[in-house]
Structures are given as structure tokens and as C-alpha cells.
Amino acid sequence: MFNKFSSTELIYTKKFTESHEDTEIIRFYDNNLQDMHMHNFTFIKNSVCKYKFRKIIFDELEKRKDENANFLRIEFNFSVDDDFINNLSVVPEVTKYNYMYIEPKMSGYLTKNKGCIIKKALSEKLLEEGIEVDILANESAMGAEFARKRIYRKSEIYKQLNSNLNLYICYYKGIAIGNCEFMLNNDIAKIEDFDILKNYQRKGFGTSVLKHLLEEAKDNCVELVYLITDGGDTAKEMYEKCGFKKAGEKTELFFDLS
């Protein structure tokens, strides 16, 4: 199960990036948005010994410095001792994420906010409304300029008919109040970039979106739906209440090179 989630994660990332792969790593680049951390990183494919792990880290650091990059981001799905990471000569910021999953049939246990309407962004008008609510949801955390560049970069993929990645928009009284990505990959579906505007949170809109997406997954014969959350994610409590369970973890190491 976890392997299906992690392989789907790589498929998702490759929609936005070019990549170089060898026996140990996959190096992802998005030349259209080089300062986006989630599209420019190195994934360590399998658990390695401490010597090899350290070598990969410092090889990647040197490569990023040669590129005049201002950050290095590393991801992996295995465990490494915290003490080992904290004793590296260059100490990164460490974030641990949870893979959480749910079966589509659980949609029957979720209650929808009756004033909520969810639409797939299949037209330019709907997509523009989804873009604007995404900027509103993210500009305080990442700045309006980057939030705009980020969602317009992502929208290039939403427009591709064969991408299997779509943007869904949540409306209340005719106003777009949230959005969410949903990607189908055979019998697995991925939820990503799930936002409800602050003034509308904790009012059942997030649960309504989840219910809609689980029903969509069921219609497409999906067996499991997953998303990734970190320990500080304010929505994690909602996911757990809706029936999501933990499937595994991934770790991010972030090195500030600026």
C-alpha cells in the first residue's frame, strides 16, 4: 500500500518537473519555477548506510552551490536517527510528514454542508476562480507574487486533458471559498493543496470537499485515497475525524544556502 502511495507521489511530481535518476536518487527540477521548493529537490530512493547517506547529502550540496541555488531540499521515506542529522557539519531544518489514507466508501459517513457546491475546473472561468481563491488562501504564507506564480504554473498541468490532475473549487453562496487538487492514478487517488479560506474553516466545508472527492474516487473504481500532512497541519484533526489513517512517513531536509 505505502509503495503505491510513494510511486504515485513521484508520478505527481514528474508532471511539473524534469528529472535525473540513478541507482540512489531522483533529482527533480522545475525550470519554469526554480524557487519552488516542492518542485526542486532530491529524492533518496532507498534506505542507505550512514556513510552513503552523508555522501549523497554533501554531493547534492556541492551541486546546488555550483548552480548558485539558494536552497537544497532532500526527501526520503525511511528512518534516519535525529542525532545523526543534527551532527552533520551543515544542519538542515527537518520536517516529518505523514501519509494518510482513506477508503472511498467512507464518503457515506461524512456529512455535507448543504450550502456548499463543489465544481471541477473544466472551463477557463472556473479555473480563474480557482486560481484567485488559491492566491487568497496562500498569499499570507508565501507572498502574493509567489502564490500567483505558483498556481499559474500548476494550472498549466490542469489544462492538459490527459494529466489526470484536476482542480476542484468549493463555493458558498456563489463565492469561491476553497480549492483542492485531485489526481487519479489507476486504483489510487491523491489529494493535494487543499485550502479553505480562514473565515470559512471549521464550518463543514472541508468535510464537504472530502465527501465529494471520495464519491468521485468511488465512481472511478479507486481503492484508496491518500494525502500528505505534517504534524503542524491545522487540517490534520479534520482528516482523522473523517476516517483517515496513517500509512507511513516521509522526511524533508531543508538546507538554506542563501
Q: For the residues of the chain, what is the DSSP string, one character each? A: -HHHHHHHHHHHHHTT-EEEE-SSEEEEE-TT-TT-GGGSEEEE-S---HHHHHHHHHHHHHHHHHTT-SEEEEEESS---HHHHHTSSSPPEEEEEEEEEE-GGGGGGPPPPTTEEEEE--SHHHHHHHHHHHHHHHHHHH-HHHHHHHHHHHHHHHT-TTS-EEEEEEEETTEEEEEEEEEEETTEEEEEEEEE-GGGTTTTHHHHHHHHHHHHHHHTT-SEEEEEEETT-TTHHHHHHHT-EEEEEEEEEEEE--
pLDDT at 235: 76
- The rounded mean pLDDT for the chain is 96
Question: Across residues 119-127, what is the average pLDDT?
Answer: 97
pLDDT at 230: 85
pLDDT at 221: 98
Question: Across residues 94-108, what is the average pLDDT?
Answer: 97
**Does residue 18 register a pLDDT over 90?**
yes
**Does residue 104 register a pLDDT over 70?**
yes
pLDDT at 203: 94
Question: Across residues 43-66, what is the average pLDDT?
Answer: 97
Question: Across residues 37-53, what is the average pLDDT?
Answer: 97
Q: Report, at the CATH architecture level, how domain 104-222 is classified.
A: 3-Layer(aba) Sandwich (3.40)
Percentage of residues in the chain with pLDDT exceeding 90? 96
pLDDT at 232: 66
pLDDT digits (tens, 9 = 90+) for 74-90: 999 999 999 999 999 99
pLDDT digits (tens, 9 = 90+) for 217-247: 999 999 999 999 986 666 788 899 999 999 9
